[in-house]
Each structure stands twice: as structure tokens, then as C-alpha cells.
């Protein structure tokens, strides 16, 4: 019986507390002729009801999305003997679906990309959505199943929120599951989806699905805490990585749609809302899962970009500006944004946001549809460092 508790988020790493899994029926090598079509994943679970209730209690205790995601894939991995359990972020851009892993458990090891302080090298990649899943999402099917061609049976469990695909859980098995196991999987996913919609109500902006202003301070604090954690020292004989480590920083950008009022006035608020939704999708598809995007209200968005050099940050934000400029918004046509960004120092969120706002304001005042870097504007004496009163002054 799995009596072990899922480790709290900050302790997650290797699932050391997990007892060695008793060899389940599907671990045994079957001669081809006797291999069963399905196998009960509940076999060998001891008291599955007790384990199920334990995991339910852990899931419903979660007060944050990231924590809930990890606890849910942990429950599915531990209870159903999956070879791996993955939480996928699903986004749509230019009519195509993309997936990106935000957390994975495999071989008793957890990788949580949203909390990854190791830097962009370690981050997961956005991939085109696998065809069976894309077809399943369009049919609103759940679960979606397929063999991966390498001896694994895959089960995708797409999760919708307010008619919008939100994320998807991917489970990999050695063989297809039996009916009881499916009931268990679907039950856990149903609880996950219900609890997620409760969290969403308080954490997310209802129009775009992006994180809301209320969640910003906590995410910002977590990011700055991680960037102040001591870096591992180079081992004797290994080259120092000082240059790379010093060059990488975390960044905050404030994005504002140009002349959005005119869009509303000319096309109406419904089209204005559609622009906000499409722009949110473009933002989501432009950044990795461990980077955070917030709608601060109105047509203003904030991005927390992790561990990038100044050149990379500039390149990523410029690429976003161009992608939006080139996107054909239905009926509305061309939309542009202005963006101000700043490196995240030890300043408070209010100060960092204020500096990014100053750079954004500069971009608005100097032609819009541009990216401006606060420190550079200050270095070039185009902008005064904001004083305590919060006033912005141009040279
Ligand atoms: N459709 C829609 N409009 C919104 C929403 N929230 C705010 N707005 C509108 O966004 C517009 C913001 O206008 P302004 O602050 O004047 O800025 P702007 O027209 O984008 O001009 P610049 O920022 O200077 O380029 C206002 O007309 C608001 O009514 C929303 O949720 N939906």
C-alpha cells in the first residue's frame, strides 16, 4: 500500500520516500501469445481506497495551481503504476495547438519546469501538439489514447475551463489499462479539474486565462528568492561558469496595446475583447512554461522572464513585438504593442514595475510599437532613475 505522503513542493526532487514498486503484472515479460490485452493497475495497491482518499486529501489541500499540478500527477503516477505522468500546458496560436511540459514524473524523479531556477537550458520546449491529441481536443474527447510506436500506451486527459482547453495530463503505460483503472484515472482528473476551476476563479483573469494581478506579488517573490539562492560551485577540474552565471538575470516586462481605445471605438468591445484573447494566446506561445504572464487589467500585461542574458531578453521581447505586429487580427487587422523591460534586482515589485512602466511610457512617447530597456535609457541619460515620489522625468 502506498503509505507515503507526496512531498511538499519545495522538497520535490527525487521521490525518495516512495517505496520500491512491487513488480506489477505489466512489468513482467509476457510471451507474446499469453500477453493480456489489459491489466489492472490497482493490483498490488494494498488498500487502494485508503490510498485514493489520501491523494484526494493532498490534492484538495492545494492552494496554488503549480502545487495542484504536481500533487495530481504524483497521485496518478503512484496510484496507477504509470511509467510517467506529465502535466502539459496547451496553447493555440495561428490555428495550431502546441503543448509544453510544466511538470514530469518519470523513474521516480520529478521535474517541475515552472519552478526551475536552473535557467533556460533546463526549460521544457514547446512542441506541436501530437496529432491524436489535437484531433481529440477538436472532438472534445477525453481520454484520448494511442500507442507511441515504442511499446508505450499513452493516455492524454485534456482539461477544459470555461470552454477553453487549459492543460492536459499525459500518462504512459506499458500496456493499456483495464476498466477499473480508467475509472480511477478519470475520477482523479475530475477532482483535479473541479479544484482547478476553483483556484482559477481567484488566480486567473476570466477573459484571457492569464494569471491576474493578485497573484503577481507571490510569483515575483518566489522568482527573486530563487535568483538569490547560492549557485553550486564548480568542481575541481571543471571550468568556472562564472561568466554565464553573471550574465543571466531575470527580467520583467510591461506590455501595453497601442491605441486600444481606437480599436474599441471603431470595432466595438466584443472585437476589443477578441484582440485581448488572441494577444494573450500569442504571449503564451512566445514564452516557456516556467515564465509567467499576467494580465494586470485593461490592455496591460506583465511578463516575468527567467534567467536570460540581456541580449536574449531583448531578442525575445523584440520577437514578441514583431509576432504581434505581423499577426492578422480578424476584422481588426494590424495591432501593435509597446513594451518596457527591466532586469529584476533586489528592489521591491513596486519599484521594478515602476521602472518597467517608465520604459514603457518612454516607448509610448516616442512612436509606440517598440521595445525599450529601462537601464539603457537611464545609461543614455534619456530617462532619470525614478525618484522616491514616483515621478517620471525625460531629459
Ligand atoms: N474591449 C475591452 N476594452 C477594455 C478592457 N479593459 C480596458 N479596455 C479599454 O482599453 C482602453 C485603454 O485606452 P487608453 O488607456 O486610453 O490607451 P490606448 O488607447 O491603448 O492608448 P495608448 O496606450 O496611449 O497607446 C480604454 O478604452 C478601455 O475602455 C476590456 O476588458 N475589454
Our mutation pick for probing the ligand 1 site, out of 264, 280, 334, 367, counting the most ligand atoms within 8 A of Cβ, is: 264
Question: Is the CB of residue 362 less than 8 Å from the CB of residue 383?
Answer: yes
Ligand 1, residue 297: give the atom nearest the CA.
6
Ligand 1 centroid, distance to 274 Cα (angstroms): 13
Our mutation pick for probing the ligand 1 site, out of 213, 260, 277, counting the most ligand atoms within 8 A of Cβ, is: 260
38-47, 243-252, 278-287, 358-367: least confident range: 38-47
Ligand 1 centroid, distance to 296 Cα (angstroms): 12
Is residue 360 scored above 80 in pLDDT? yes
Contacts of 226-232 with C-beta under 8 Å, sequence gap 24+, read: 226/115, 226/117, 227/117, 227/307, 227/344, 228/346, 229/117
Q: What is the overall mean pLDDT for the chain?
A: 81
Helices (H), the chain: 48-61, 65-80, 131-139, 179-203, 216-227, 242-247, 260-267, 269-286, 310-326, 349-365, 374-379
Q: Is 353 in the pocket of ligand 1 (CB under 6 A)?
A: no
21-35, 239-253, 346-360: least confident range: 21-35
Q: What percent of the chain has pLDDT over 90?
A: 54
Q: Is 258 in the pocket of ligand 1 (CB under 6 A)?
A: yes
Neighbours of 333 (CB within 10 A): 10
Q: What is the DSSP letter of 149?
A: S
User: Which domains are delineated in the chain?
Assistant: 9-202 (3.30.450.40), 211-234+242-379 (3.30.70.270)
Give the model confidence (pLDDT) of 154-174 as tens digits.
Answer: 999 999 877 778 899 999 999
- pLDDT for the residue 307: 72
When pLDDT is averaged across residues 312-322 and rounded to a whole number, the result is 95
- pLDDT for the residue 338: 98
Ligand 1, residue 256: give the atom nearest the CA.
23
30-34, 226-230, 381-385: least confident range: 30-34
List of residues 6+ apart from 94 with CB closer than 8 A: 327
- pLDDT for the residue 248: 77
Q: Is 58 in the pocket of ligand 1 (CB under 6 A)?
A: no
Q: What percent of the chain has pLDDT over 70?
A: 77
Which residue CA neighbors atom 12 of ligand 1 most closely? 261
Best-predicted range by mean pLDDT (162-176, 233-247, 356-370): 356-370
Neighbours of 392 (CB within 10 A): 16
Give the residue among 354, 351, 108, 122 at the shortest CA–CA distance from 226: 122
CA 283 to each of CA 59, 191, 280, 308: distance values in angstroms, whole numbers, following the listed order: 29, 29, 5, 17
Ligand 1 centroid, distance to 297 Cα (angstroms): 10
Ligand 1, residue 265: give the atom nearest the CA.
27
More confident residue, 294 or 18: 294
- pLDDT for the residue 264: 97
- Phi-psi sector, 381: left (phi>0), alpha (psi -120 to 50), beta: left
Helices (H), 144-268: 179-203, 216-227, 242-247, 260-267
Give the model confidence (pLDDT) of 332-356 as tens digits.
Answer: 999 999 999 999 977 789 999 999 9
Given the C-alpha cell 495591432, which residue does it identify?
A: 335
Give the model confidence (pLDDT) of 87-107 as tens digits.
Answer: 998 887 777 898 989 899 999
With a cut of 0.90, is the ipTM above it?
A: yes
**Grid coordinates given for 31:** 510471451
Question: Is the CB of residue 204 less than 8 Å from the CB of residue 211?
Answer: yes
When pLDDT is averaged across residues 291-297 and rounded to a whole number, the result is 91
Is residue 239 scored above 60 in pLDDT? no
Torsion of CA 173, 174, 175, 178, to 10 degrees: -50
Which residue CA neighbors atom 21 of ligand 1 most closely? 259
Q: Is 255 in the pocket of ligand 1 (CB under 6 A)?
A: no
Please return the burial class of 38, using the count of CB atoms within 10 Å of its CB with bins 0-12, 13-18 and 19+. middle
More confident residue, 9 or 214: 214
Phi, psi angles (nearest 5°) of residue 206: -70, -25
Beta-bridged to residue 362, according to DSSP, are none
CA 57 to each of CA 16, 34, 376: distance values in angstroms, whole numbers, following the listed order: 21, 39, 50
Our mutation pick for probing the ligand 1 site, out of 257, 270, 299, counting the most ligand atoms within 8 A of Cβ, is: 299
Q: What is the DSSP letter of 177?
A: B
Amino acid at each position: 500500500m502506498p503509505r507515503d505522503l507526496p512531498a511538499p513542493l519545495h522538497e520535490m526532487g527525487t521521490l525518495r520516500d516512495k517505496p520500491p514498486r512491487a513488480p506489477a503484472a505489466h512489468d513482467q515479460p509476457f510471451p507474446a501469445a499469453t500477453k493480456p490485452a489489459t491489466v489492472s493497475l490497482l493490483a498490488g495497491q494494498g488498500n487502494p481506497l485508503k490510498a485514493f482518499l489520501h491523494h484526494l486529501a493532498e490534492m484538495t489541500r492545494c492552494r496554488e495551481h503549480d502545487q495542484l499540478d504536481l500533487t495530481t500527477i504524483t497521485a496518478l503516477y503512484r496510484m496507477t503504476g504509470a511509467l510517467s505522468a506529465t502535466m502539459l500546458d496547451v496553447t493555440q496560436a495561428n490555428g495550431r495547438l502546441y503543448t509544453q511540459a510544466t511538470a514530469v514524473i518519470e523513474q521516480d524523479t520529478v521535474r517541475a519546469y515552472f519552478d526551475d531556477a536552473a535557467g533556460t537550458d533546463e526549460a521544457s520546449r514547446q512542441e506541436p501538439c501530437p496529432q491524436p491529441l489535437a484531433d481529440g481536443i477538436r472532438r472534445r474527447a477525453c481520454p484520448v489514447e494511442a500507442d507511441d510506436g515504442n511499446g508505450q500506451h499513452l493516455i492524454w486527459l485534456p482539461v477544459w475551463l470555461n470552454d477553453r482547453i487549459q492543460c492536459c495530463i499525459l500518462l504512459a503505460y506499458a500496456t493499456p489499462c483495464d476498466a477499473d483503472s480508467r475509472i480511477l484515472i478519470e475520477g482523479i482528473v475530475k477532482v483535479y479539474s473541479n479544484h482547478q476551476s476553483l483556484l482559477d476563479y481567484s488566480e486567473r483573469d476570466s477573459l484571457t486565462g492569464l494569471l491576474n494581478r493578485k497573484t503577481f506579488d507571490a510569483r515575483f517573490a518566489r522568482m527573486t528568492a530563487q535568483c538569490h539562492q547560492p549557485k553550486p560551485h564548480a568542481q575541481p577540474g571543471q571550468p568556472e561558469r562564472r561568466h554565464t552565471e553573471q550574465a543571466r538575470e531575470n527580467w520583467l516586462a510591461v506590455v501595453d496595446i497601442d491605441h486600444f481605445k481606437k480599436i474599441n471605438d471603431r470595432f466595438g468591445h466584443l472585437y476589443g475583447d477578441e484582440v485581448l484573447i488572441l494577444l494573450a494566446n500569442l504571449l503564451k506561445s512566445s514564452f516557456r512554461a516556467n515564465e509567467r504572464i499576467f494580465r494586470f487589467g485593461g490592455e496591460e500585461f506583465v511578463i516575468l522572464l527567467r534567467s536570460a542574458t540581456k541580449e536574449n531578453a531583448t531578442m525575445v521581447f523584440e520577437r514578441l513585438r514583431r509576432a504581434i505586429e505581423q499577426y492578422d487580427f480578424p476584422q481588426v487587422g494590424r495591432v501593435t504593442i509597446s513594451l518596457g523591460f527591466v532586469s529584476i534586482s533586489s528592489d521591491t515589485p513596486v519599484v521594478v514595475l515602476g521602472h518597467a512602466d517608465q520604459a514603457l511610457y518612454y516607448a509610448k512617447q516616442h512612436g509606440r510599437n517598440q521595445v525599450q530597456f529601462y537601464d539603457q535609457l537611464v545609461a543614455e541619460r534619456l530617462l532619470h532613475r525614478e525618484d522616491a515620489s514616483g515621478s517620471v522625468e525625460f531629459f
